[in-house]
Structures are given as structure tokens and as C-alpha cells.
Amino acid sequence: MKTPEKLAAGWLLTLGFMMMTLSVSAVLNKITMYREFPPGIEDGLYDQDVTNHGAVDQLNNTAVNGIIFGVPSIVLGSWLALGFYRENKQEQKALTHENNQRLQSLFYKMIQENQGRVTVLGFAMQSQLPPADARQYLDEQAKVFNANFKINEEGAVSYYFDV
């Protein structure tokens, strides 16, 4: 995701929402202009047509122009933002897959080098994972491969995998 493209999406969305806000505001002002006057002292004044037709035409133009420029801006900005979202999800998925491949490769290498014996501390040091994550990963692999466990006097767990 490139910064100029992100900025373009942001500006398009902002511009589109501003235009749509102007359009809605113009329609609301037009509705207000046609509202009936309350009864007053000079009833004869209200019998005349006091509508400012120039202002109504300008409000109509503002509403139409707001829609003409607002809708495409919102659609294009949303399309760009959705593309960035999808691209980010794909990158995250690729990074997760790559990390899983790295851990699996390291796990197999440690099993081969240590004749099937792996400790949580050794795996955590090699993989640079926090100890809790290393233990969780080894627990999952132990379930998959039916590993044996041995706990020493200090409470450290060693996993034994059949090679």
C-alpha cells in the first residue's frame, strides 16, 4: 500500500462526503423555503407568491452538482480503500504462512539434530518466540505426532518425538 494512493482514497472519500453534505443541505434549504408562513397580522402579504425563484434554482443546481460530483468520488474512494483492505489481508496471510513455514522448518531441524528431543527453552531460543508461544506450538505438534513428555526435577518439559 502506497502512501499517495492512501491519501488519494482519503481525499476522494472526504470530497465525496462533503459534496453529498452540500447536496443534502441544499435540499433541506429548498424544503424550508416552501414551508408555509404562520398566520400573521398582514394576511394580505401572504397571498402573494414570495418565493425567491433564483434562490430555488441555485439550490437545485447545488443539489444536483453535489450528487454528480459526490457519488463518483465516494464510489472511487471506497473502491480504492477496499482494494487496500484486501491487499493488506493478503499480505498478512502471506506473512503468517511464511512464519508458520519457518517454525515448521526449525522444528523439524531441531528434532533431527536432537534425535527427537525438543525442550521448550531450546525451541524458544531458536525460534525467538516467547516461552508461552513456544510451549503452545510444541503442544500442538506433540498432539499431531503423538509425542512423549518428560518432566525433570526443575519442572522443565522435554518433548520426545519418534524419528
Tell how far CA 76 is from the center of its chain. 17
CATH number, position 153: 1.10.10.10
Please report whether residue 103 resides in a domain: no
Please report whether residue 56 resides in a domain: yes
Domain check: are 24 and 82 in the same one?
yes
Kindly report the number of other CB atoms within 10 A of residue 61's CB atom. 11
- Give me the number of domains the chain comprises: 2
| DSSP structure class, residue 49 | -
Containing structural domain, residue 121: 114-163
> How do the pLDDT tens digits run along the chain, 163 residues long?
588 888 999 999 999 999 999 999 999 988 887 766 566 655 555 555 666 778 888 999 999 999 999 999 999 999 999 999 999 999 999 999 999 999 999 999 999 998 888 988 889 999 999 989 999 999 999 899 888 888 877 777 888 888 7
Question: What is the reported pTM?
Answer: 0.61
Question: For residue 163, with 0-12 CB atoms within 10 Å meaning exposed, 13-18 middle and 19 or more buried, which class applies?
Answer: exposed
Please report whether residue 105 resides in a domain: no
Residue with cell 531460543: 125
Domain check: are 93 and 35 in the same one?
yes
Domain check: are 12 and 62 in the same one?
yes
